[in-house]
């Protein structure tokens, strides 16, 4: 299994590489962002480990370059900073997992295996309807102008349901099946609240109300 | 184009506003006084002239229209000090004689009224008079009477009075300037003392401002002092943290180095493990102190958007735990800001959500609410929860009830510490059926200590 390790600390990189080789990965190591971008774009890796603090650039920029050139192998980010906003930004840039230094090699390997497994059955699943593209893997909505909005679980499921068949009316009961809730009895108000939130994202006309019947996704708007 | 550079000081602004206003108002008062004086004297003279005409008429009627029967000559002039003219069809009397060229044209039997003559250029007679004319008939003899007064003299004294008023007004203006200057200086005095206090603060002579500031500046001084307090506290905290850190980090470093320097010594497994344990200690200490020093506590002028931050974190955790669903239920609008420092709120939400994510089976729900001045964050999951007996010890630093799941055992302790700093409360409850609920309640308005 080919693995790209981007880490500028030589000692750490060497140690990691040999442990990863032992775990069955075939490891390419690089210390610079420039080389990392090239390798990621040219070679076919199954998984990547990316340190955020590189001497000639930010790891997040490397990641964005990879993602924009369709290098879609799963990436685990390594960093010394454990801020929550760093994790959010890392995942938004296209990472799949995040590990703070120092870490134990077993944990790293377990996480790598997990993201590889997760990416295995993964095909590029995009639902397109009208001006919007829903990315099922990343659970976000891409607008016409390229901006992305991340969705929470239920928002995503509701939108996927509506966008899967544009123009078809879904009743509130049908939509309620998409609702996971800790409360025992989810009610129709909850659906309305979610629809309001989704309309804020896609515009009020895009999700139309059919009085007494339900909602539909209007892809002609 | 600006005529004046806008003055920056309060004193300058006040002077620039008050001085022209004061001068302008006094000038207006002086002008109005002039107009009133003029009108008053004219009305007064007119009244007297009317009386005299009535007096003359009375005499003429007594003399039954025979003007020459009247005791003319200087009599009336001496009584009235006024010039007069009487005209009947066959006789005209004008006294004094020198006024006749001036008065005779006015002797038309016309309606009775006061007449003003200005700038009459006749020698021996005044150029400016006020006259009152009345026509009547006695035994069918039409008679016209005019009494007039020389206004020139009156106007001269009037002008003199006006000039005096002007002088007094100018004196008043000077007085006004003085009073304004004094008033401004007096009211600015506390500000000056504040300025001095700031200077002394800067040079380190004093550590807090305790000058008696005027009411308007008191919040400013208070805020400044609070800022200085929190700065001091922060410095102290970071010094303590560094001291703790170097104390607990240097010893393990020394131990490990000792072992590595001894080239003779072999590295058996037990020793390796011990070294690794020491390094782990260092890491734990470092992480604990760093996270402690990272959170800011309540800050003036800092706020966070809870819904936006919650959304990001929920999405991120949804990616990290792909088989679990993270839901948000909020009664707070998207744009609402809470008085949290952004990092602090992230730390609260992130740690609690991450814990819930680790333990839940399928679903985690975050609820943000705002009720009666309280911000309320509730995170519930459907995991096995925690034994009733252990609930109380949750959030104790370094305590980990989950030895298998990775972590420092710091998360809840950090949350507890942050919440305490915001004068809020953190509570854990076990749900009857299944699941665990963490509730954070923080007042929006903090009591000032």
Chain B residues with beta carbon closer than 8 angstroms to that of A141? none
Q: Which CATH class is domain A2-120?
A: alpha beta
Question: What pLDDT, on a 0 to 100 scale, did the predictor assign at position A25?
Answer: 92
Q: Order the strands of the A2-6 sheet from edge to edge.
A: A26-30, A2-6, A47-51, A75-79, A97-100
Number of Cβ within 10 Å of residue B184's Cβ equals 17
Chain B residues with beta carbon closer than 8 angstroms to that of A117? none
What does pLDDT average to in each consecutive run of 10 residues of chain A (221 residues)?
92 93 92 93 92 89 91 90 87 90 89 88 77 86 86 87 88 80 69 87 87 85 74
Look at residue B63 and tell me whether its pLDDT is greater than 80.
Answer: no
Candidates B312, B363, B382; nearest CB to A88: B312
State whether B363 and A182 contact (CB < 8 Å): yes
B447 φ, ψ to 5°? Answer: -70, 135
Question: What pLDDT, on a 0 to 100 scale, did the predictor assign at position B403?
Answer: 44
Average pLDDT over residues B403-413: 61
Question: What pLDDT, on a 0 to 100 scale, did the predictor assign at position A17?
Answer: 94
- Among B180-184, B268-272, B292-296, where is mean pLDDT lowest? B292-296
Task: Give the minimum alpha-carbon distance from B326 to chain A in angstroms, rounded to a whole number.
Answer: 6
Q: What proportion of chain B, given as a percentage, has pLDDT over 70?
A: 86
Task: Give the minimum alpha-carbon distance from B259 to chain A in angstroms, rounded to a whole number.
Answer: 19
State whether A154 and B325 contact (CB < 8 Å): yes
Question: What pLDDT, on a 0 to 100 scale, did the predictor assign at position B72?
Answer: 55
Question: What pLDDT, on a 0 to 100 scale, did the predictor assign at position B69?
Answer: 60
State whether A180 and B327 contact (CB < 8 Å): yes
Look at residue B390 and tell me whether its pLDDT is greater than 80.
Answer: no
Task: Give the minimum alpha-carbon distance from B10 to chain A in angstroms, rounded to a whole number.
Answer: 46
Q: Please give the interface size between A and B, counted as residue pairs whose CB atoms are below 8 Å apart.
A: 72
Sole residue written with tokens 């005027």: B214
For residue A102, say if its preceding peptide bond is cis, omega within 30 degrees of 0. yes
Sequence-separated (6 or more) residues with CB below 8 Å from residue A26:
A1, A2, A3
User: Residue B429 — pLDDT band, cuts 50, 70, 90?
Assistant: confident
Chain B residues with beta carbon closer than 8 angstroms to that of A153? 314, 318, 325-327
Question: What pLDDT, on a 0 to 100 scale, did the predictor assign at position B81?
Answer: 66
State whether B346 and A87 contact (CB < 8 Å): no
Q: What is the ipTM of this complex?
A: 0.87
Sole residue written with tokens 């207006």: B28
Question: What pLDDT, on a 0 to 100 scale, did the predictor assign at position B139?
Answer: 78
Look at residue B127 and tell me whether its pLDDT is greater than 60.
Answer: yes
State whether A180 and B343 contact (CB < 8 Å): no
Q: Residue B99 to residues A114, B53, B59, B148, B438: CA-CA distances in angstroms?
A: 128, 17, 22, 10, 113
Task: Give the minimum alpha-carbon distance from A153 to chain B in angstroms, rounded to a whole number.
Answer: 5
Q: Which residue of B has its CA nearest to A200?
A: B334
State whether B315 and A139 contact (CB < 8 Å): yes
Q: Give the whole-angstrom CA distance, residue A24 versus residue A35.
A: 24
Average pLDDT over residues B396-401: 54
Interface mutation vs chain A, best among B283, B284, B319, most A CBs within 10 Å: B319
State whether A182 and B380 contact (CB < 8 Å): yes
Instruction: Report whether B162 contacts B62 (CB < 8 A).
Output: no
Look at residue B221 and tell me whether its pLDDT is greater than 50.
Answer: yes
State whether A139 and B318 contact (CB < 8 Å): yes
State whether B350 and A181 contact (CB < 8 Å): no
State whether B347 and A84 contact (CB < 8 Å): yes
State whether B346 and A84 contact (CB < 8 Å): yes
Q: Which residue of A has its CA nearest to B346?
A: A84
B97-124 pLDDT, tens digit per residue, is 777 777 777 777 666 777 777 776 766 6
Question: What pLDDT, on a 0 to 100 scale, did the predictor assign at position A149?
Answer: 87
Look at residue B404 and tell me whether its pLDDT is greater than 50.
Answer: no
Candidates B287, B315, B343; nearest CB to A151: B315
Q: Where are the domains positioned within chain A?
A: 2-120, 126-217
B263-277 pLDDT, tens digit per residue, is 888 888 888 888 888
Average pLDDT over residues B399-404: 49
Chain A residues with beta carbon closer than 8 angstroms to that of B350? 84, 87
State whether A118 and B322 contact (CB < 8 Å): yes
Q: Which CATH class is domain A126-217?
A: mainly alpha
Interface mutation vs chain B, best among A11, A12, A84, most B CBs within 10 Å: A84
Long-range contacts, stretch B110-113, CB < 8 angstroms, 24+ apart: B110/B135, B111/B135
B358-371 pLDDT, tens digit per residue, is 888 888 999 999 98
Look at residue B71 and tell me whether its pLDDT is greater than 60.
Answer: no
Q: Is the minimum CB–CB distance between B357 and chain A shorter than 8 Å?
A: no
Average pLDDT, chain B: 81
Candidates A85, A152, A182; nearest CB to B318: A152
A114 φ, ψ to 5°? Answer: -65, -45
Look at residue B1 and tell me whether its pLDDT is greater than 60.
Answer: no
């Amino acid at each position: 299994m080919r693995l790209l390790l981007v880490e500028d600390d030589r000692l750490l990189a060497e140690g990691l590489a040999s442990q990863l080789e032992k775990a069955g990965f075939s490891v390419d190591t690089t210390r610079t962002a420039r080389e990392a971008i090239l390798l990621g774009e040219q070679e076919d890796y199954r998984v990547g480990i990316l340190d955020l603090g590189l001497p000639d650039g930010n790891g997040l920029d490397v990641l964005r370059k990879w993602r924009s050139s369709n290098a879609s192998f799963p990436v685990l980010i390594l960093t010394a900073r454990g801020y929550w906003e760093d994790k959010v930004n890392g995942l938004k840039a296209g990472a799949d997992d995040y590990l703070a230094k120092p870490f134990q090699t077993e944990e790293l390997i377990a996480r790598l295996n997990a993201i590889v497994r997760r990416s295995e059955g993964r095909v590029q699943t995009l639902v397109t309807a009208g001006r919007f593209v829903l990315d099922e893997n990343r659970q976000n909505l891409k607008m016409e102008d390229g901006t992305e909005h991340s969705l929470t679980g239920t928002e995503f499921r509701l939108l996927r349901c509506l966008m899967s068949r544009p123009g078809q009316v879904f009743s509130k009961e049908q939509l309620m099946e998409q609702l996971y809730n800790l409360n025992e009895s989810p009610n129709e108000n909850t659906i309305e609240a979610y629809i309001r939130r989704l309309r804020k994202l896609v515009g009020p006309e895009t999700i139309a109300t059919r009085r007494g019947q339900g909602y539909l996704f209007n892809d002609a708007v | 184009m600006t005529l004046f550079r806008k003055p920056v000081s309060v004193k300058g602004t006040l002077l620039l506003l008050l001085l022209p206003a004061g001068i302008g108002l006094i000038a207006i008062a002086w002008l109005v006084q002039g107009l009133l004086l003029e009108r008053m004297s004219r009305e007064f003279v007119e009244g007297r002239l009317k009386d005299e005409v009535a007096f003359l008429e009375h005499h003429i009627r007594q003399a039954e229209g025979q003007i020459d029967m009247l005791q003319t000559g200087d009599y009336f002039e001496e009584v009235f000090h006024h010039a007069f003219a009487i005209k009947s069809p066959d006789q005209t009397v004008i006294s004094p004689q020198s006024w006749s060229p001036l008065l005779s044209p006015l002797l038309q039997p016309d309606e009775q009224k006061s007449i003003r003559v200005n700038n009459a250029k006749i020698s021996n007679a005044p150029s400016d008079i006020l006259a009152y004319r009345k026509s009547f008939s006695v035994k069918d003899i039409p008679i016209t009477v005019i009494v007039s007064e020389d206004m020139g003299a009156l106007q001269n004294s009037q002008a003199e009075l006006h000039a005096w008023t002007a002088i007094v007004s100018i004196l008043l203006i000077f007085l006004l300037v003085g009073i304004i200057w004094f008033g401004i200086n007096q009211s600015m005095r506390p500000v000056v003392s504040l300025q001095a206090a700031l200077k002394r603060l800067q040079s380190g002579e004093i550590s807090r401002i305790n000058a008696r500031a005027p009411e308007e500046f008191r919040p400013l001084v208070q805020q400044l002092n609070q800022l200085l307090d929190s700065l001091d506290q922060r410095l102290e905290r970071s010094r303590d943290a560094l001291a703790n850190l170097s104390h607990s980090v240097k010893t393990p470093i020394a131990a490990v180095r000792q072992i590595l320097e001894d080239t003779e010594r072999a590295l058996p497994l037990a020793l390796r493990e011990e070294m690794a344990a020491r390094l782990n200690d260092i890491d734990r200490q470092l992480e604990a102190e760093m996270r402690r020093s990272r959170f800011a506590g309540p800050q003036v002028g800092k706020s966070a958007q809870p819904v936006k931050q919650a959304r990001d974190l929920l999405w991120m955790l949804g990616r990290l735990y792909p088989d679990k669903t993270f839901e948000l239920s909020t009664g707070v609008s998207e744009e609402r800001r809470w008085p949290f420092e952004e990092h602090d709120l992230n730390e609260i939400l992130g740690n609690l959500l991450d814990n819930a994510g680790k333990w839940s089976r399928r679903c985690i729900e975050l609820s943000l609410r705002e009720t009666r001045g309280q911000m309320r964050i509730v995170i519930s999951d459907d995991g096995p929860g925690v034994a009733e007996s252990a609930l109380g010890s949750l959030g104790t630093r370094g305590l980990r009830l989950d030895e298998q799941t990775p972590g420092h055992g710091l998360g809840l302790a950090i949350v507890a510490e942050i919440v305490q700093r915001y004068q809020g409360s953190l509570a854990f409850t076990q749900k009857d059926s299944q699941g665990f609920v963490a509730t954070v309640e923080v007042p929006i308005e903090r009591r000032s200590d």
